[in-house]
């Protein structure tokens, strides 16, 4: 592959937080090999002047092209003289565990919740420290295009089990006390990596597991592995009601996100999960800082303050939140997209830890999940409404002008705040979409504000 061709492909693949795109049409073995070599050099795993070689840990999900991409990455890394520790099939938080526990830079081959035709790479430095476009990803891409000369003494590749240690670690971090009976839990793995990690972790718990779509299948034959889309929760909700289960859990493709359904089959807002975990973390870490992003419910900030913590509002995005956690020393951070970050887990996000917190809270309270989370579900919200627009900046400016009399900030997109409502309008980092989130004190106010903003968004431009 010529440098120009590689540069063109990387211009499409490199996103704000990771590498992602069609595979093998754009992201193929040649691209992965070049990125692997560049990654080894940029992270210091390749031998330096002293000749000492480091290692890179590599894991991959169940997508059709993932094994080939993982092998190509290993070839690229070892071509520099660095070694590779491969953990094989893994969830993204399992890769983060390995990077943190073993103090190695890591690469996870996954496109998370994207369609089956995509694949991608999530990159981190030793200790699971994130790598985004502005924190090394652009430099890695540039070095890949320039090329890295191979060395004579290639590095080695060794396989190492991470699943057993991962399952032990997460159950150490969040203890789920036994209840009067085993919790009946339905898990929808969406044929993703939840099918690997859930049985390993739940074997250490007093739970009765009912699995949906637990077989690993990167073609996603049952439904897309994106629990943020309500259509992909229908099977889980039905199963919870039919089984008389206590809780339902939906994991995305790489199982770093978890969505929760209560015993009635109703979705528990990720903001409510964030508030629940924040209260639990602050009970054992009094006075600490907790992060929440700009689209979490106002209830999250309220609960953090009520629990004696210090709330810090952040932009959306895992690399940004992890960096802010490191800066503030925050004990926990939550996103409305279902990402939950833990200081004791190398600041990394883990859907499994969030699930364990929910189950632990249920057993501690001794009541249905709907009762447990009722105190955190305080305000009606619109959910995320995606809008395709020709010019996101112009639309955002039009909305800002229409609400000029209200408090506004630009921490991430446009947030407009009034006494009884707020909304956030922000551009997607990965798709040509403008995302709207609205929250209000009551349903009537919510509908009024939501409809007014949507009208402004889709207003035809005057000539």
Residue 327: burial class (beta carbons within 10 Å; 0-12, 13-18, 19+) = exposed
Residue with tokens 């193929």: 28
Residue 379: enclosing H or E segment and its boundaries? none
Q: CA-CA-CA-CA torsion for 37, 45, 55, 192, nearest 10 degrees?
A: -50
Strand partners, 249: 187, 260
For residue 75, give the nearest of 33, 42, 46, 104 by alpha carbon.
33
Do residues 59 and 86 lie in contact, with contact meaning Cβ atoms separated by under 8 Å?
A: yes
The two beta strands, 289-293 and 332-334, are parallel
- Entry field: residues in the chain: 463
Catalytic residue among 55, 91, 112, 346: 112
Beta carbons within 10 angstroms of residue 262's beta carbon: 24
Active site residue 138: no
Give the orientation angle of helix 443-457 with respect to helix 392-402, to 10 degrees: 130
Do residues 340 and 273 lie in contact, with contact meaning Cβ atoms separated by under 8 Å?
A: yes
Whole-angstrom Cα distance, residue 132 to residue 130?
6
Catalytic residues, which ones? 112
């Amino acid at each position: 592959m010529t440098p120009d061709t590689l540069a063109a492909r990387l211009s499409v693949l490199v996103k704000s937080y990771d590498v992602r795109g069609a595979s093998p049409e754009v992201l193929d073995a040649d691209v992965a090999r070049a990125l692997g070599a560049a990654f080894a050099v940029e992270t210091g795993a390749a031998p330096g002047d002293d000749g000492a070689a480091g290692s890179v840990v590599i894991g991959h999900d169940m997508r059709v092209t993932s094994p080939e991409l993982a092998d190509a990455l290993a070839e690229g890394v070892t071509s520099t003289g660095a070694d590779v520790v491969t953990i094989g099939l893994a969830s993204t938080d399992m890769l983060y565990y390995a990077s943190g526990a073993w103090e190695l830079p890591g690469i996870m081959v996954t496109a998370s919740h994207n369609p089956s035709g995509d694949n991608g790479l999530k990159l981190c430095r030793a200790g699971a420290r994130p790598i985004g476009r502005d924190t090394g990803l652009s430099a890695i891409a540039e070095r890949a295009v320039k090329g890295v000369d191979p060395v004579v003494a290639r590095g080695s590749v060794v396989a190492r089990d991470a699943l057993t240690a991962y399952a032990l670690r997460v159950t150490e971090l969040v203890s789920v006390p036994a209840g009067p009976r085993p919790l009946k839990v339905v898990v929808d793995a969406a044929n993703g990596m939840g099918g690997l990690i859930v049985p390993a972790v739940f074997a250490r718990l007093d739970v009765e597991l009912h699995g949906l779509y637990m077989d690993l299948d990167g073609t996603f034959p049952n439904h897309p592995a994106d629990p943020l889309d309500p259509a992909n929760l229908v099977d889980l909700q039905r199963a919870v009601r039919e089984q008389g289960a206590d809780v339902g859990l939906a994991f995305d493709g790489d199982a770093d996100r978890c969505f929760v359904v209560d015993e009635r089959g109703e979705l528990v807002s990720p903001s409510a999960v964030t508030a629940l975990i924040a209260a639990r973390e602050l009970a054992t870490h009094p006075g600490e800082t907790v992060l929440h992003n700009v689209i979490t419910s106002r209830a999250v900030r309220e609960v953090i303050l009520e629990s004696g913590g210090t709330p810090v509002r952040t932009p959306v995005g895992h690399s940004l939140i992890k960096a802010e956690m490191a800066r503030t020393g925050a004990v926990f951070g939550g996103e409305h997209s279902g990402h939950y970050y833990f200081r004791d887990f190398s600041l990394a996000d883990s859907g499994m830890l969030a699930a364990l917190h929910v189950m632990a809270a249920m057993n501690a309270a001794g009541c249905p999940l709907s009762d447990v989370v009722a105190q955190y579900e305080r305000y009606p919200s619109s959910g995320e409404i995606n809008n395709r627009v020709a010019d996101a900046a112009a639309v955002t400016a039009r909305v800002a002008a229409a609400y000029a009399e209200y408090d506004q900030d630009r921490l991430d997109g446009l947030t407009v705040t009034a006494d009884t409502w707020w909304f956030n309008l922000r551009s997607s980092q990965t798709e040509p979409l403008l995302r709207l989130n609205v929250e209000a004190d009551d349903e009537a106010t919510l509908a009024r504000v939501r409809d007014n903003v949507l009208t402004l968004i889709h207003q035809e431009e005057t000539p």
